[in-house]
Structures are given as C-alpha cells and as structure tokens.
A and B are shown apart, each in its own frame.
Chain A
Amino acid sequence: MDVKTNKVRPRRHNQEMLPTSLMLLPSTLLLIVCSIYPFVWIFRYVCYNYNGFTATYTGTKNLERLVKDKQFWQSVGTTFEYAGLKLLFIIPLALLLAVMLHMRMKGHNLQRGILFMPTVIATSISGMIFAFIFATQNGILNAILQNLHLIKTPVKWLTSTDYVMAAVTILAVWGGLGNYMLYFITGLDGVSEDCYESAKIDGANGFKTFFFVTLPMLAPVLKTVLMLAITSAFKDYEAIMVLSKGGPGNRSMVMFLYIYNTIFGTANSSTQPQIGYGALLSVAAALIVGCVTVIYLFVSRKLDHITE
C-alpha cells in the first residue's frame, strides 16, 4: 500500500508543478530582465567615469567621493525627514478614513472613490497641479488661508526653506492616502464580526473596540502596509522633482532625486553626466533602503503574532 502511494505522489507533484512553473515563468523573466539584470549592470560602472559614451577607469575614486559627498549625505538626511513626515501623517489618516468608511455610512462608496482618485493621477501631473496650489502669488492654498484669516501675508510654500518640506509632505500624503486606505479597508473586511459582537457584549465602547479589537486584528495588514509605505517613502522623488526640483537651496533634495540629477539632470557645457558615480550612489541608496526595511522587519516581527 505504501509503495503504491510513493509511486503516485511524485507524478501528482510534477503535474502540479508544471502549470505553476509556466504561470511563474513570464513574471520571473520580466523580473530578471527589468530588475535583476539592470541592478547587476550598474556594478560594471561603479569604478568608472562613464558619460554614456566613454568610460574611464578610476579605481576607488568614486567610493572616496561617496564618502566625502556632503550633498549626498544631506539628501539621505532629507529622505529620512521626508519619509518620517509622510509616514507620520499618511498611516494614521489612512487608518482613520478606512475605519470611518468601513462603518458603511451613507455614500461611503462615493467617498472611497473620491479619496482613491489621487492615486491614479500621474505623480508628475499632481506635482504640476500642486505647483499652482502652492504658488505664493495667486496660489489657491494661500487664498484660502487668507480668506479664513489664518495668515496675513502669503506663505512662500515653494521658495522658502522653512515651508517646502511641509508642501512636499502634503503632496505625498494627498497622493498616497487612497492607496493605504484601501489596504486598510480590505484588512478591516477580514476582521470577523464575532469579535465586535463579543466586545459589545463585554461592554466595550467605540474607542476601546478600536484599540483592543480592530487595531490588534489589523496587525498583520498594518505590518505589510507600513513596510510598503516605508519603502515607497524612501524611493519617492518624481513629485518632488516637478514641485520643487529639490530646492530651494536643496532643502527638499531627496536621495533618489540627487541620484537622478547626477546621472541625467545637471549636465551642461561644463559638467558631464556621471553614470558611473550615479551607479555607485544607486547601490548605496539600495543598501540604505534595504537596511531600513530589515530593521523595520526585525522591530515589527511581533505584529505577525499579535492575534495568536
């Protein structure tokens, strides 16, 4: 009997593996071609001055430059600041909106659609839209604030080093809120009604239900959402590039925008595109984002077991 079973299992196993492998093949190929190969490709040039046409071997000079590159390390600091500000607002707001919409209030589908809309607008377009909103002269935001008597003189949202981080954070929160809200709503849909009924029987009010039932039950989703939010916040640069170009005075220069400028952006008659050095910066940036993710996964490992 045992012998018979052993003969059948590998065949069934093989039969199951084939369609699985075939289904995985296109995405695996795409991953190799579009992600893994380019990442390996950049290693070719980390020791070169490469302008897209000629490559000159420079040994460890790019590495020495990286260590001394104050502007890059400043941009790393700005990236942490930007990511911190974005996460500080976007996660609680997305969670709050998800909980409110999950209450199935009147018109919740319409509200969900409206809140999700910014997510489908291209970041470059939203960057341009917000350039009008944040304009000092005739800007919509300043007009509203002045009409509400909250400010007396127009705020220089994009030309003052004091306010530009607030401006890029508002844009980032506006653009990403709907996405995270949707993840949380999906998570909330998975929470059993029994838990809420039990809490009700035990006399828990809305506040207690949220903190002692909803939030713990959402922990695994929260862990994933936070990880996605952290990695995307560290990689954001497109909207900032359109909105403030990393200025004023590099105040909003984030890591990946600096890398973009190094490779493509600032070359003029007296400077060269620096693909080699940019490649090394990309590796450094990937390591930084990787380290942050690993630290987060280590810190957040308890969230997996919170409902057990």
Chain B
Amino acid sequence: MDHPIKSDHNRFRKIVKGKLRENLKGFVSQGKQVIPKGKDQFTIPMPSIEIPRFKFGGKSEGGVGQGDGQEGQPVQGDGEKGEGKPEKAGQDEGQKQLEVNFSLEELASILSEELELPNIQPKGSSQIDATVNKYTSIGTTGPDSLRHLKRTYKQSLKRQVSMGLYDADNPVILPTRKDYRFRASQSKIEKQNNAVVIYMMDVSGSMGDEQKEIVRTESFWINLWLKHQYKDIEVRYIIHDATAKEVEEEVFFKTRESGGTLISSAYKLCRDIIKEDYPVSDWNIYPFHFSDGDNWSSDDTKICLDLLNTEILPVSNMFGYGQVESRYGSGQFYKDLFAAYNEKTENIVLSKIKNRDAILDSIKEFLGKGK
C-alpha cells in the first residue's frame, strides 16, 4: 500500500494540521464545530485550501442554469443534485469546504503544542495494577463465537492444497473440525489509570445559552485532553440551582431552571458520587464547577469551602472552578474562593472566562498545571 499518493496525502494532512494550529483560538471560540465520528475520531469542517488564482469575484457573476421556475425564484437549495459523472475530477474549481478527519491523538497533540500543556502524572499509577485480557493470539480450541473465519479458511485451504484436494475450477473449501482456529486471549498486567470528570453547573436563570455554550466547549476540550492522558475516562454531570441532581450530558447543557442558587447542594452531591462510585485509591478524580459566581448566601459559601477543604480537595487530583461572566452574575463566589485559596493551594484552579475568546486561555489555566 505504499503508493506515492500516501506521501502526498501526508503532506496535505500536515498542511491542514498547521492551519488548524494557526487558527486554534478562533476555532475553539467558535465552539461546536468538532463532530465526533466513531471512537476517538473527529471530523472538522475547515475552509478549503484553494490555490490563489486570478478569478472572478463570486457574487456579481451569476450564471446560466436549466429548469423550470419564474423570474425571481431562487436557484439554490432545491436539493436536486445529480449523481454527476466527473470524467476528469480535480479539474473543476475547488470545493468550498473541506472535511478533515482527526484522531484523538492528533487533536490532543495540537492542543498540547499550542497551549504547551504538560503531561499529567497520574496519581497511584504505580500501585494500581489490573489484569487485562486481550484477544491477540490464535488457538485451536474455543467457543464458536470466537472462531476466526479467515484463519480457519486459510488453514483449511492449506490442508486441501497439501492433500491435493483443491480444485481451482471449483474452489470449494470445506473446513473440518481440526481446521478451526479461534481467537485466544492473553493475560497481561497493565497499569490502570482511570479518571472520572464530574462537571457541575449552575443552571439558575442567570446562566444564559451563551454561557452554557462556553461551558460545553470547555468541557469538550477538557474531556479530549483527559481522554488523551488516561486510558479511560468517565464523565458525570450535575446541575444545580437550589438543589442538585445528576443528569445525562444532553440534559446538562439544555436545562434552565429559575430557582435560586445553593452551590453547596452540588458539592454535596459530588462528594456522594465520589464516595459511592470512585474509590480514591483507584481513580483520578476531576471535579469541575462552572457558574456565574452567584451564591444564595455567604453562609452557603462557608459550607462550600468546608466541603471543599474536608471532603473534595483531599480526594481530587484537581478541582476546577470556572466562572463564566454573565450580565446577571455578581462574580462573588470567585472572590470568596480566591480569598480562601491562593496560588499555593496545589490542586485547585480558579479561572474567569469573560467570553468565547477567553476559552482557550481558560483551558490552559485548568490543564496547565499537569495535575
């Protein structure tokens, strides 16, 4: 498969990656552009790379078309595109959009190079071992569900040829029991490093769609980075106003409540989730909380600080608080946290996100510590 087109293709991908890197900031702040495609694959729509030429400007040009319709009717969007039959493809003027596939690795490496992110040292990587079964070898016994058809066929073909039973004109291959080959597992001891990300978000009335969009974008890139750093990550979502509940990802970004705000409710639920499902010795734990900084009372803030100090921070690799600026939020909570923790507190990161353009910097603040 080593056709020269492969190296042309690699050059092309290198150029595209370069473009993405150059425009990462604009790209990230535009938000929802990355389309996940299957496992660890993403499709990114990019403006096509067109070689500049002297050409006519688009709008004033117009043209000639065929079909029915009155004067003044639009010519686009009737959706009836023909199968086409490109005889010499590539000669038509370039397509407007490129869709480029990136793997998780590629995106993560672009992110890390651009933001100069350090690798995370997973805690407990030395003590947590796990036995993993991988179906990497082939055996002669096994259940039918694991039968390896290709290898069975080959074996059978080999046997028939060597026995002189193979007839090229009537190439029927009949495997016998002895030809059967099965996928077999090999046990390996692997270092296990799993991570859980717990997102908490204030969904009270003051958090608007724009704010949620920012949180969504941040969480996408944070997930991406953690996925790249850990073998497996689990993600849990908590929304809160005066009370907190755990929800699915979909709901998380869509819910809008009108009640007041008690941040402690979320922290309590977060604590409970950790206690119940994620033993500290086995898991790397990342709680993130996003709000616009309003809390019901300073009493509740005290409870929050208490929860953080005694129950959440001690078990977390890192706790992230992101304050999204909104027209209604006072931003008080950031100040309170800032007063309680200074730069020296190792595993808490506070970040203010003013608008979309600040997303990338905020991501850097969260992930830049290598925690």
- Whether chains A and B associate is no
Chain B residues close to A by CB (< 8 Å): none
